[in-house]
């Protein structure tokens, strides 16, 4: 089997490439949408949006068919009376929270999630959270973060949520080195990655966020952290401030990304090369074998990314290096150069990178480029299909387990399926 | 503040989007923060529109708030006009922009565009989606409609009407329009303009040229119809033609307004009336039904349930506060107090208390019904993608009556099936807890699981004997970790994963299936 894939398919990658930075209409979700997967992860948390009917409608539309007996998210809808005076709004919020906690005795962590309306009227949710935390001190912890569209784009909602949890992490006194893996991953992915770490002899690690709010990982000066998701810049800054050291790595997408990501942990914990190779050999081979099948369908195809989740750059790297796709434009809502450094170095030189969006101009470029596959949101997908493009709707990439070796083939399949489908039903 | 878990209606600017998207040459510029574009996917996904809604958002962000959001708005209006060349524009604010108090109307007017620009005042903290749609249609009509022209010649012509109310994202609006247009044509009445669905600005200008208006959806069109009556003396229909009786009443109403005779052949494809009289329907008598939805659909459905199906109406309600009076009147007919609420928990509570045998409602009631194990059919928005069907499925007119009969009876046990249940009460396949064979959600837990694992319709017939076979015939064993790992795979593909892994293990001569084997097999079979 092939050893490590050579890092230099291109020489310098995109480390210093200019980025097309645009302002204009943005066809993106706001950070409230993060609630949809965060509430599935933290099983005893409730997300209370303080906002308008629009916010409630958005969360409901994004949640789609997930109508639960008792959903663990809701909206305190601001009405006219609340707009009349601020003190009133705080009393109202206290009433809604007491109503909610009485209804849901199982809730141990309550997030007050800020929205555009609550921020524009300057409702101070951090003070409200402090006040309510004191009121319900034995009962539930109350935190706040902003998921508003004016502050956050889509997955940045998770960043804001995790950052709000940082001050509540317990102190750790142990002299041993500890690894913190940061970013929501599907349970199955966590288990697989955890098993690989154990096999390498790394046993002291925690996932953040945890599955229950009572299981928050303790961190200390001996902790290092590895980001599992690319959109966690505020969380990373907060962890740095707590004295944790960040391990620089590409993100665990594809065989190569997962290997490099695990390697960063292995290096930090002094796992020897032979052990690392032994542990990763079989799953790497499996991943490569599944990818080879998709490569036959995807190689040489041109792909265009509209901005959505900040996963675009790692995904483009995966599609280019492991499936031989050509990158036409890689759009991202926000580009954090430091966190993305390892990824940018792996992108082919000259890739057109864009940050932000001016929708109509970007659609013009897409039309001019005539890509074989367009990765975009659901608002654009069917209209582009109707114009003859093949699309992959991007939100699925956030909900589906895609990280790690065993999911590499599934990830590739998400991109090859629309092309295969077009071929099949055109015949 | 109001604690809301699910909401029946969106904010009013979504109503305005429904009008703009329905029309062919109108563009809407919405002053709104980043994220409000979520509403686009209601149209592109739920209604499966092959085009983007004609809406431009200013998508301001926090950093813009310190600066000039008003300029941002003006730029967006100018750029949208330039790019899309619409025949008219709508401008307005979403909930957040309402708070920052830029004046969309004034700002757009300052640009002096050579087309009508209609400013919308949609109070987002007071009103909701249907009101927003109604107000938008009304403002457009007020701005555009021109007075009736004097007839150029007095040669006799057919009576002419408009159809008012159908929009984008309307429950079965597409097919209702087709059905009612055909009905009117069969009566010798010409349809001049349908609006707003597929109407152009020019069409709306011409609204007053017809003789009268047909109001299909009062929630959307009654404000406009009343204004047209005041302004241009155009009468409008008061009966919504849903159900056999209501359609006949509608036909009589139209015949009177148009001065035509009712032709004999109108009902040649009506089957629902006979079906309801056929002996198999005897079992429907007195079934206890609960209704919830928008006021128009609930009032019409209650009449059908009571007069045409022989059900007992045990409760009804609506989320349309604007139409509470209409619903109270309907409640009196059936001796029930209507529930006027937009809190789905209250609806659930009432359904739980009343224990009806059939629920007719919205998407939310469908889920409530599923939880309570009760039969349910959808009669009103909000609805999911499956209720924008590819097939012809009107709710109105005589074909609509046929569709309603099938849709409502389907989730109930048909007479013959109920008879069999009575006869074979003790039989293992027909015990008391057995639900109709087509009612998947209330199948007994064991067969439900099997069915889910097999993910095939045929699996609903699986008996317990079949269920225990797969593991027994193989000579491979599952290690406990592998078994646990298998449990993490989503239930609907787990059965396939189990079979593939066992087949793989047999082929490879693996005696004990480990986690490694599981993933080896996955890699082997993945395509």
Nearest chain B residue to A385 by CA: give it: B50
What is the band of B469 on the pLDDT scale with cuts at 50, 70, 90?
A: very low
The distance from CA A108 to its chain's CA centroid, rounded to whole angstroms, is 24
A134: CB partners within 8 A, 6+ apart:
none
B223 and B295 share a domain? no
pLDDT of residue B488: 81
pLDDT of residue A62: 82
Q: Do B34 and A28 touch (CB under 8 A)?
A: yes
Q: At A36, is the secondary structure helix, strand, or coil?
A: helix
Residue A284 lies in a domain: no
B106 and B214 share a domain? no
Looking at B231, B258, B285, the residue that finishes a domain is B258
**Tokens read off for B445:** 């837990």
pLDDT of residue B291: 98
Burial class of B386 by CB neighbour count within 10 A (0 to 12, 13 to 18, 19+): exposed
**Tokens read off for B444:** 């007994």
Q: Where are the beta strands (DSSP E) in A171-316?
A: 178-182, 205-208, 223-227, 245-246, 302-305
Asked whether residue B419 carries a pLDDT value surpassing 80, the answer given is no
B361-367: long-range contacts at Cβ-Cβ below 8 A with a sequence spacing of 24 or more?
B361/B290, B361/B291, B361/B292, B361/B293, B362/B8, B362/B292, B362/B293, B363/A67, B363/B387, B364/A67, B364/B6, B364/B8, B365/B292, B365/B293, B367/A67
B281 and B402 share a domain? yes
Asked whether residue B473 carries a pLDDT value surpassing 80, the answer given is no
Q: What is the CATH number of the domain that holds B63?
A: 3.40.50.1980
B295 and B367 share a domain? yes
Calculated CA dihedral for residues A52, A57, A60, A64, nearest 10 degrees: -160
Nearest chain A residue to B66 by CA: give it: A120
pLDDT of residue A2: 46
Q: At A153, is the secondary structure helix, strand, or coil?
A: strand
Instruction: Report the alpha-carbon angle A14-A369-A7, nearest 5.
Output: 25
User: In chain A, what residues touch B38 (CB-CB under 8 Å)?
Assistant: 29-30, 33, 58, 61-62, 379
Q: Where are the beta strands (DSSP E) in A319-387?
A: 326-332, 352-356, 373-376
A148 and A220 share a domain? no
Q: Is B280 a catalytic residue?
A: yes
pLDDT of residue B451: 40
pLDDT single digits (tens) B79-118: 999 999 999 999 999 999 999 989 999 999 999 999 999 9
* Torsion sign, CA atoms B327, B328, B333, B338: positive
Lowest mean pLDDT among B46-55, B237-246, B408-417: B408-417
- Looking at residues A362-375, what average pLDDT do you find? 98
A343 and A385 share a domain? yes
Nearest one of A67, A59, A191 to A113, comparing CA atoms: A59
B302 and B339 share a domain? yes
pLDDT of residue A328: 97
Residue A59 lies in a domain: yes
B275 and B416 share a domain? yes
Residue B95 lies in a domain: yes
On whether the CB atoms of residues B494 and B453 are closer than 8 A, the answer is: yes
A298 and A383 share a domain? yes
Query: What does the DSSP assignment read for B254-310?
Result: HHHHHT-PPPGGGGTT--HHHHHHSGGGGGGTT-EEEEEESHHHHHHHHHIIIIIS-
- Looking at residues A38-45, what average pLDDT do you find? 94
pLDDT single digits (tens) A13-35: 888 889 999 999 999 999 999 99
A339 and A413 share a domain? yes
Please give the tally of structural domains in chain B.
4
Lowest mean pLDDT among A82-96, A122-136, B27-41, B119-133: A82-96
On whether the CB atoms of residues B118 and B90 are closer than 8 A, the answer is: yes
Segments forming the whole domain that contains residue B124: 12-129
Residue A5 lies in a domain: no
A336 and A246 share a domain? no
Residue B395 lies in a domain: yes
DSSP A106: T
Q: What is the CATH number of the domain that holds B515?
A: 1.10.8.550
pLDDT single digits (tens) B301-331: 999 999 999 999 999 999 999 999 999 999 9
**Tokens read off for B321:** 């506060």
Asked whether residue B66 carries a pLDDT value surpassing 80, the answer given is no
Reported ipTM: the value is 0.93
A181: CB partners within 8 A, 6+ apart:
A190, A193, A205, A206, A207, A208, A225, A226, A228
Q: Do B3 and A191 touch (CB under 8 A)?
A: no
Segments forming the whole domain that contains residue A69: 31-152
What is the band of A71 on the pLDDT scale with cuts at 50, 70, 90?
A: confident
- Looking at residues B322-345, what average pLDDT do you find? 94
pLDDT single digits (tens) B199-216: 999 999 999 999 999 999
Q: How far apart are CA A280 and CA B516, in angstroms?
A: 12
Asked whether residue B453 carries a pLDDT value surpassing 60, the answer given is no
B412 and B283 share a domain? yes
Q: Which residues of B are annotated as a binding site for [4Fe-4S] cluster?
A: 36
Question: Does A376 count as an annotated binding residue?
Answer: no
pLDDT of residue B370: 85
B72: CB partners within 8 A, 6+ apart:
B58, B60, B64
What is the band of A106 on the pLDDT scale with cuts at 50, 70, 90?
A: very high
Encode B201-228: b = buried (16+ Cβ within 10 Å), e = exposed: bebbbbbbbbbbbbbbbbbbbbbbbeeb
A144 and A247 share a domain? no
A308 and A210 share a domain? no
* Torsion sign, CA atoms A192, A197, A201, A206: negative
Asked if A150 has any chain B CB less than 8 Å from its own CB, the reply is yes
> What is the interface size between A and B, counted as CB pairs within 8 Å?
203
Q: Do B1 and A92 touch (CB under 8 A)?
A: yes
Burial class of A277 by CB neighbour count within 10 A (0 to 12, 13 to 18, 19+): middle
Asked whether residue B174 carries a pLDDT value surpassing 60, the answer given is yes
Asked whether residue B65 carries a pLDDT value surpassing 90, the answer given is no
Asked if A54 has any chain B CB less than 8 Å from its own CB, the reply is yes
What is the band of B496 on the pLDDT scale with cuts at 50, 70, 90?
A: confident
A251 and A296 share a domain? no
Asked whether residue B454 carries a pLDDT value surpassing 70, the answer given is no
On whether the CB atoms of residues B183 and B237 are closer than 8 A, the answer is: no
What is the band of B471 on the pLDDT scale with cuts at 50, 70, 90?
A: very low
B338 and B253 share a domain? no
What is the band of B148 on the pLDDT scale with cuts at 50, 70, 90?
A: confident
Nearest one of B195, B167, B215 to B381, comparing CA atoms: B167
pLDDT single digits (tens) B228-262: 999 999 999 999 999 999 999 999 999 999 999 99
- Looking at residues B165-183, what average pLDDT do you find? 98
Percent of chain A with pLDDT over 70: 95
On whether the CB atoms of residues B394 and B422 are closer than 8 A, the answer is: no
pLDDT of residue B448: 41
Residue A318 lies in a domain: yes
Residue B81 lies in a domain: yes
B416 and B277 share a domain? yes
- Looking at residues B149-156, what average pLDDT do you find? 75
CB-CB neighbours of A281 under 10 Å: 11
Residue B18 lies in a domain: yes
Looking at A234, A250, A276, the residue that finishes a domain is A276
- Looking at residues A305-319, what average pLDDT do you find? 98
Asked if A187 has any chain B CB less than 8 Å from its own CB, the reply is yes
A271 and A329 share a domain? no
A258 and A311 share a domain? no
pLDDT of residue A65: 59
Residue B426 lies in a domain: no
* Closest Cβ–Cβ partner in B44, B61, B363 for A379: B44
- Looking at residues A200-206, what average pLDDT do you find? 97
Catalytic entry in B280, B342, B343, B520: B280
Asked if A74 has any chain B CB less than 8 Å from its own CB, the reply is yes
pLDDT of residue B272: 97
What is the band of A80 on the pLDDT scale with cuts at 50, 70, 90?
A: confident
User: In chain B, what residues touch A65 (CB-CB under 8 Å)?
Assistant: 384
pLDDT single digits (tens) A247-283: 999 999 999 999 999 999 999 999 999 999 999 999 9
Work out the mean pLDDT of chain A and round it to a whole number: 93
pLDDT single digits (tens) A213-248: 999 999 998 999 999 999 999 999 999 999 999 999
Q: How far apart are CA B53 and CA A171, in angstroms?
A: 51
A316 and A353 share a domain? yes
Residue A158 lies in a domain: no
Nearest one of B385, B360, B359, B391 to B374, comparing CA atoms: B359
User: In chain B, what residues touch A367 (CB-CB under 8 Å)?
Assistant: none
Q: Do A188 and B52 touch (CB under 8 A)?
A: no
Q: At A405, is the secondary structure helix, strand, or coil?
A: coil
Q: Do A117 and B95 touch (CB under 8 A)?
A: yes
Lowest mean pLDDT among A128-132, A272-276, A282-286, B460-464: B460-464
pLDDT of residue B288: 95
Asked whether residue B424 carries a pLDDT value surpassing 70, the answer given is no
A274: CB partners within 8 A, 6+ apart:
none
B323 and B372 share a domain? yes
On whether the CB atoms of residues A22 and A306 are closer than 8 A, the answer is: no
Residue A281 lies in a domain: no
B168 and B200 share a domain? yes
Asked if A366 has any chain B CB less than 8 Å from its own CB, the reply is no
On whether the CB atoms of residues B355 and B314 are closer than 8 A, the answer is: no
Residue A173 lies in a domain: no
A297 and A350 share a domain? yes
Residue A339 lies in a domain: yes
Q: Do B1 and A69 touch (CB under 8 A)?
A: no
Q: What is the CATH number of the domain that holds A354?
A: 3.40.50.1980
Query: Cα separations (Å) of A128 from A93, A112, A113, A124, A396?
Result: 8, 9, 11, 6, 34
Please give the tally of structural domains in chain A.
3
β-bridge mates for residue B339, sequence order: B317
B277 and B251 share a domain? no
Burial class of B345 by CB neighbour count within 10 A (0 to 12, 13 to 18, 19+): middle
What is the band of B452 on the pLDDT scale with cuts at 50, 70, 90?
A: very low
Percent of chain A with pLDDT over 90: 87
Asked whether residue B122 carries a pLDDT value surpassing 70, the answer given is yes
């Amino acid at each position: 089997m092939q050893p490590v894939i050579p890092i230099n398919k291109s020489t310098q990658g995109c480390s210093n490439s200019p980025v097309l930075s645009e302002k204009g209409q943005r066809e993106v979700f706001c950070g409230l949408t993060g609630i949809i997967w965060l509430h599935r992860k933290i099983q005893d948390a409730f997300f209370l949006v303080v906002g308008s009917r629009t916010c409630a409608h958005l969360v409901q539309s994004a949640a789609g068919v997930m109508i639960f007996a008792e959903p663990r998210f809701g909206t305190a809808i601001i009405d006219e009376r609340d707009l009349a005076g601020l003190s009133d709004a705080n009393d109202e919020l206290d009433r809604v929270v007491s109503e909610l906690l009485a209804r849901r005795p199982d809730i141990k962590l309550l997030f007050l999630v800020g929205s555009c309306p609550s921020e524009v009227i300057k409702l101070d949710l951090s003070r409200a959270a402090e006040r309510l935390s004191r009121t319900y001190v034995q009962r539930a912890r109350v935190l706040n973060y902003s998921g508003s569209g004016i502050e956050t784009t889509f997955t940045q909602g998770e960043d804001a949520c995790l950052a709000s949890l940082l001050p509540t992490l317990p102190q750790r006194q142990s002299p041993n080195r500890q690894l913190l893996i940061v970013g929501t991953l599907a349970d199955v992915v966590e288990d697989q990655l955890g098993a690989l770490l154990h096999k390498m002899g790394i046993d002291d690690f925690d996932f953040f966020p945890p599955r229950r709010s009572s299981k928050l990982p303790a961190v200390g000066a001996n902790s290092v952290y590895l980001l599992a998701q690319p959109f966690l810049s505020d969380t990373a800054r907060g962890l740095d401030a707590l004295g944790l050291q960040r391990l620089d790595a590409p993100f665990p997408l594809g065989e190569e990304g997962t290997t490099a990501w695990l390697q960063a942990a292995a290096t930090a914990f002094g796992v020897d090369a032979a052990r690392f190779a032994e542990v990763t050999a079989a799953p790497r081979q499996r991943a490569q074998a599944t990818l080879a099948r998709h490569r036959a369908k995807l190689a040489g195809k041109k792909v265009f990314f509209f901005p959505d989740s900040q996963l675009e750059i790692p995904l483009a790297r995966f599609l280019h290096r492991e499936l031989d796709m050509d990158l036409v434009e890689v759009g991202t809502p926000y580009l954090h150069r430091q966190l993305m450094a390892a990824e940018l170095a792996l992108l082919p030189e000259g890739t057109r990178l864009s940050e932000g969006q001016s929708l109509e101009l970007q659609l013009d470029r897409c039309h001019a480029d005539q890509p074989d596959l367009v990765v975009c949101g659901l608002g654009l997908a069917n209209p582009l299909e109707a114009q003859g493009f093949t699309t992959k709707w991007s939100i699925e990439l956030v909900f589906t387990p895609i990280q790690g070796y065993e999911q590499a083939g599934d990830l590739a399949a998400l991109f090859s399926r629309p092309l295969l489908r077009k071929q099949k039903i055109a015949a | 503040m109001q604690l809301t878990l699910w909401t029946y209606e969106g904010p009013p600017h979504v109503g305005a989007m429904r009008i703009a998207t329905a029309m062919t040459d109108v563009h809407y510029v919405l002053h709104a923060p980043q994220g409000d574009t979520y509403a686009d996917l209601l149209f592109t996904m739920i209604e499966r529109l092959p085009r983007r809604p004609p809406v431009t958002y200013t998508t301001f962000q926090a950093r813009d708030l310190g600066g000039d959001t008003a300029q941002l708005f003006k730029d967006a209006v100018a750029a949208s006009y330039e790019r899309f060349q619409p025949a008219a524009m709508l401008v307005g604010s979403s909930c957040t922009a309402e708070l920052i108090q830029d004046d969309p109307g004034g700002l757009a007017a300052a640009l002096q565009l050579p087309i009508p620009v209609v400013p919308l005042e949609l109070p987002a903290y007071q009103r909701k989606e249907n009101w927003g749609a109604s107000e938008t249609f009304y403002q457009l009509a007020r701005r555009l409609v021109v007075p009736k022209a004097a007839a150029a010649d007095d040669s006799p012509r057919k009576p002419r009407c408009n159809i008012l109310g159908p929009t984008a994202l309307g429950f079965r609006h597409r097919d209702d329009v087709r059905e009612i247009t055909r009905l009117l044509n069969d009566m010798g009445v010409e349809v001049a303009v349908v609006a707003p669905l597929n109407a152009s600005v020019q069409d709306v200008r011409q609204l007053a040229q017809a003789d009268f208006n047909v109001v299909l959806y009062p929630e959307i069109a009654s404000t406009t119809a009343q204004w047209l009556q005041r302004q241009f003396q155009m009468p409008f229909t008061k009966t919504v033609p849903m159900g056999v009786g209501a359609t006949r009443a509608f036909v009589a109403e139209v015949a009177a307004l148009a001065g035509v005779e009712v032709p004999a052949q109108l009902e040649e494809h009506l089957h629902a009336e006979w079906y309801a009289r056929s002996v198999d329907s005897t079992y429907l008598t007195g079934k206890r039904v609960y209704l919830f939805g928008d006021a128009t659909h609930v009032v019409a459905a209650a009449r059908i349930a009571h007069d045409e199906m022989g059900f007992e109406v045990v409760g009804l309600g609506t989320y349309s506060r604007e139409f509470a009076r209409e619903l109270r009147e309907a409640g009196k007919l059936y001796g029930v107090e209507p529930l006027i609420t937009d809190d789905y928990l209250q609806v659930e509570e009432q359904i739980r208390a009343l224990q009806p045998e059939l629920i007719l409602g919205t998407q939310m009631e469908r889920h409530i019904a599923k939880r309570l194990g009760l039969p349910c059919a959808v009669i009103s928005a909000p609805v999911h993608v499956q209720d924008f069907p590819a097939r012809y499925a009107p709710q109105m007119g005589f074909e609509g009556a046929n569709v309603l009969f099938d849709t409502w009876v389907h989730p109930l046990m048909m007479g013959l099936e109920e008879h069999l249940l009575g006869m074979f009460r003790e039989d293992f396949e027909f015990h008391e807890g057995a639900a109709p064979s087509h009612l998947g959600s209330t199948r007994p837990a064991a067969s439900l699981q099997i069915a889910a694992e097999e993910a095939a319709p045929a699996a609903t017939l699986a008996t317990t004997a079949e269920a225990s076979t797969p593991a027994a015939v193989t000579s491979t064993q599952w290690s406990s970790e592998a078994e646990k790992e298998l449990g993490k795979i989503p239930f609907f593909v787990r059965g396939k994963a189990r079979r593939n892994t066992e087949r793989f293990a047999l082929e490879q001569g693996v005696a004990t299936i480990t986690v490694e084997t599981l993933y080896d097999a996955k890699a082997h079979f993945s395509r």
